[in-house]
Structure 1
Amino acid sequence: MLDHAIFWHVYPLGATGARIRDWTTEDEGHRLPDLIPWLDYLIDLGCNGLLLAPIFASSTHGYDTLDHFQIDPRLGDDADFDQLIAACEERGIKVLLDGVFNHVGIDHPMVAGDGPVRRLDDGSPEPWEGHGDLALLNHEDPRTEDLVVDVMNHWLDRGIAGWRLDVAYSVPAWFWAKVVDRVRQAHPDAVFLGEIIHGDYLGLVHDGHLDTVTQYELWKAIWSSIKDVNFWELEHALGRHNDFVAQAPMQTFVGNHDVDRIASVAGPSGAALAAVLLLTLPGIPSIYYGDEQAFTGVKGSGFSADDPVRPPLPATPEELAPLGEWMHALYRELIASRRRHPWLVDAGVEVLETANESISYVVRSGTESLTVHLTIEPTATARLEFSDGETAEYAW
């Protein structure tokens, strides 16, 4: 599956306009099917995968799970989930769900009970990274392994293709290996994407028996190099990226639900350059909903810090403002080119020439190649030259 996957990444609670905090039963609803009008948009963009942030019952933002077997009542119920999955299957869209298996919400029933939760000396639940509303699971307890296997199999049986593993870097790799091996006994084609920011990317893939991990190093180098007009940072990151992809697939992105919007960080022209990088480099790309429309948003502070980067979508794509159509057209063109050259996913990359304001690199696989020339100043430009004669030039 991953050889041909390009994901559209959506934060369902935000995209469907659900209230995140201080919600009541009056805020419950059947919002999950609201994503169905966007599935043809996903296909038209050139994607074939839908990566969903948490959809399970939670207290607030979805990462404080209360029940891994229940759809969040703000999003609907099992029937709503089945409706969405059926609509995806009709279009050939593969769905990954976001599984939070490092911690649970402090109000999860097993926290107050005798569940497999890590405890401090006084018996209180151990919080994750100081977040008192999140209780760490005890991965040494075999009940945790059984729970995760049961959850994964339950939703795989219901039609999903795999899992994004939230904060996978905080969970022992041996735990993932045991879980993945058990799940693959029933679902040999299931996909496992681990979230890792810093650390041993290849170790998590190999020791955890995962398929791919988030390439945060490349994400950081892309936005930082463009923002600071310093492509030397990107040159270094591309060298490491080449080493990574030679040994395991890398999941690439320029935006997600946890970071400032690329168009806010790098500006519109910088966001366009980032799109070129994302869709010409080796890896398994995901596009965070709205980045392809040049959405802006910067994280704030406090409990609502993430809200600006997790906005609601209009009811249908036709209701989008026309201001982002130029970026949408760029993404469609770049994805179409990537579809015509599927070898890009696991190719090698070599930097040819670097200056502060420009970089050239070549992506190769066997006899196929793509040479890319980018400039930030005095004008943001991109030139793509494929070995089969296909070319494209852009200026913003």
Structure 2
Amino acid sequence: MDHDVDRTPEPAWVEHVMWWHVYPLGFVGADIRPTSSLDSGVEDRPVEHRLGHLDGWLDHVVDLGLNGLLLGPVFASSTHGYDTVDHFRIDPRLGDDGDVDRLVTAAHERGIRVLLDGVFNHVGREHPAFRALAEHGPDAGTAALFAVDWDGWQPGQPVPVGSFEGHDILVALDHSSSATEDLVVQVMTHWLERGIDGWRLDAAYAVPPAFWARVLPRVRERFPDAWFSGEVIHGDTAQIVRASTMDSTTQYELWQGIWHGIADRNCYELAHAIERHDELLATFAPSTFVGNHDVTRIASAVGEGFVPHAIAVLFTVAGTPSVYAGDEFAWTGVKEDRVGGDDAVRPTFPDGPPEVTGVAADVLHAHQALVALRRRHPWLHRAHTDVVHLDNTALVLRTATDREAVVTALNLSPEPVVLPAADATRVEAGAGDLRDGTLRLPAAGWAVLTR
């Protein structure tokens, strides 16, 4: 059983950060499933300097009002980036150390923080540490990294090691081992020394919280200003945070409440998710999102015209929000459960931001307006939200402190609606007619107001 341990407060800069989330291999147009990767070995791949493709988008990040770059996997891997073969080497399909150094420098020059994706639950089957086991068995110098029952094993037989969620190419690390602990500390500190600002901890839900509670304090000793957000899909997230010492976890329950609530025209589900979200704030500020590299894009989930409704909630409730790159243009893409089923939500990006019109322009402008509002009200990071009005197709939220308040009103109906304004006096984003303590929203309208 994991016990609560002492946690340090999150770094002060996190109250002000908002991330632009990128899946690098897809973004730069790299081959995700190279046919030769297992034959020739990743170490034999030529270095292709594609990471600079991101440079042309950093000014777009600033134009959105965002100030964080959350990168998916950038380390050498066999296929999709999560089957790591070398945590200390940039994937040659992206470039080399010089490329990532230039990207971090260019980001920091613009005031953009950089977060890397740490895949520390498992490694790829082609990782040299695991290949050594197949060759040398329990005598391999890296045997302590993996939980293996060697009883009855004979040379030439497959190594009896656990995989991650049935994925044969992903080999689980042994998180009770001090060797694994030392490796993860070494990887984290290596890249923090290179200038990154923190880590997204991939599949953190599959790792015992006690492991993080041993690792993260060691890293914070040297880098007290680093931030650590764990991917946690289910479970008691508040307890996981308390036991692990992580700063934050991904808020999948809120994401699901937002898109189901809007897509199903069921504001009760959305309100319930927000109330549950609010309960977490006594422990931590969750990492919030309406899109990422593992889920159907929000425009496909709720319809392009309702993307502003989703992000209005995202940017006016507590948490550390992120925008999945492309969602600001209302790009579509459906996640499918098959080989290549992620490709539609992980596309190649053009050299720079496209010109957009129509609904896509409306979505882009909504992002800019809501990010700007969030920038003006950083206290939203840990503020509590009350549900002021609720029916199937209309919702009014009031997120406030003793002195300030932000009101978010959504209309999912094809008819105009009149809603309580909750003492708000000015429309900051969206469109609505505010008069006599009420707000008239047009059909499928939304508005964010302040007092």
Partners of 1:375 and 1:382 within 8 A in 2? no
Q: Give CA-to-partner distance per residue, 1:189-223, whole Å, 9 cap, x none.
A: 11000110110111121211111110100000000
In the alignment, the residues of structure 2 paired with residue 187 and residue 379 of structure 1 have an alpha-carbon distance, to the nearest angstrom, of 53
In the alignment, the residues of structure 1 paired with residue 416 and residue 166 of structure 2 have an alpha-carbon distance, to the nearest angstrom, of 42
In the alignment, the residues of structure 1 paired with residue 425 and residue 101 of structure 2 have an alpha-carbon distance, to the nearest angstrom, of 43
In the alignment, the residues of structure 1 paired with residue 409 and residue 267 of structure 2 have an alpha-carbon distance, to the nearest angstrom, of 12
- Shift in Å at residue 246 of structure 1? 2.9
Say if 2:86 is the partner of 1:67. Answer: yes
Partner residue, 2:126: 107
Structure 1: gaps (5+ residues): none
- Shift in Å at residue 340 of structure 1? 1.2
Say if 2:73 is the partner of 1:54. Answer: yes
Q: 1:163 aligns with which of 163, 187, 199?
A: 199
In the alignment, the residues of structure 1 paired with residue 425 and residue 98 of structure 2 have an alpha-carbon distance, to the nearest angstrom, of 48
Counterpart secondary structure, 2:225: coil
Moved more, 155-164 or 84-93: 84-93
Structure 1 residues 63 and 333, CA, compared in 2 at 3 Å: closer, same or farther?
Answer: same
The residue identity in structure 2 corresponding to 1:21 is R
Structure 1 residues 382 and 145, CA, compared in 2 at 3 Å: closer, same or farther?
Answer: farther
Aligned runs of 1:68-217 on 2, under 5 Å? Answer: 68-113=87-132, 114=140, 115=142, 116-119=145-148, 123-217=159-253
In the alignment, the residues of structure 1 paired with residue 337 and residue 317 of structure 2 have an alpha-carbon distance, to the nearest angstrom, of 33
Structure 1 residues 312 and 120, CA, compared in 2 at 3 Å: closer, same or farther?
Answer: farther
Partner residue, 1:352: 388
The residue identity in structure 2 corresponding to 1:79 is G
Q: Give CA-to-partner distance per residue, 1:153-175, whole Å, 9 cap, x none.
A: 00000000000000101101111
Partner residue, 1:4: 16
In the alignment, the residues of structure 2 paired with residue 368 and residue 27 of structure 1 have an alpha-carbon distance, to the nearest angstrom, of 55
Say if 2:402 is the partner of 1:366. Answer: yes
Partner residue, 1:20: 32
Partners of 2:242 and 2:283 within 8 A in 1? no
- Shift in Å at residue 359 of structure 1? 1.0
The alignment covers a number of residue pairs equal to 395
The residue identity in structure 2 corresponding to 1:99 is G
Structure 1 residues 381 and 315, CA, compared in 2 at 3 Å: closer, same or farther?
Answer: farther
- Shift in Å at residue 300 of structure 1? 2.5
Structure 1 residues 260 and 382, CA, compared in 2 at 3 Å: closer, same or farther?
Answer: farther
Say if 2:271 is the partner of 1:235. Answer: yes
Q: Give CA-to-partner distance per residue, 1:133-168, whole Å, 9 cap, x none.
A: 100000111100000000000000000000000010
Moved more, 73-82 or 325-334: 325-334
In the alignment, the residues of structure 2 paired with residue 29 and residue 161 of structure 1 have an alpha-carbon distance, to the nearest angstrom, of 25
Counterpart secondary structure, 2:315: helix
In the alignment, the residues of structure 1 paired with residue 343 and residue 418 of structure 2 have an alpha-carbon distance, to the nearest angstrom, of 33
Partner residue, 2:51: 32
Moved more, 49-58 or 29-38: 29-38
Say if 2:332 is the partner of 1:307. Answer: no
The residue identity in structure 1 corresponding to 2:180 is T
Structure 1 residues 254 and 238, CA, compared in 2 at 3 Å: closer, same or farther?
Answer: same
Structure 1 residues 83 and 391, CA, compared in 2 at 3 Å: closer, same or farther?
Answer: closer
Structure 1 residues 217 and 53, CA, compared in 2 at 3 Å: closer, same or farther?
Answer: same
Structure 1 residues 335 and 118, CA, compared in 2 at 3 Å: closer, same or farther?
Answer: same
In the alignment, the residues of structure 2 paired with residue 388 and residue 342 of structure 1 have an alpha-carbon distance, to the nearest angstrom, of 20
Structure 2: gaps (5+ residues): 1-12, 37-43, 133-139, 154-158, 432-441, 445-451
The residue identity in structure 1 corresponding to 2:108 is E
Counterpart secondary structure, 1:332: helix
Identity of aligned residues (%): 47
Over aligned residues, Cα RMSD in angstroms? 1.9
Partners of 2:330 and 2:363 within 8 A in 1? yes
In the alignment, the residues of structure 2 paired with residue 295 and residue 346 of structure 1 have an alpha-carbon distance, to the nearest angstrom, of 30
Structure 1 residues 272 and 27, CA, compared in 2 at 3 Å: closer, same or farther?
Answer: farther
Partner residue, 2:10: none
Partners of 1:246 and 1:348 within 8 A in 2? no
Q: Give CA-to-partner distance per residue, 1:249-299, whole Å, 9 cap, x none.
A: 111000000000010011012222101111111111000000011000001
The residue identity in structure 1 corresponding to 2:85 is L
- Shift in Å at residue 320 of structure 1? 4.8
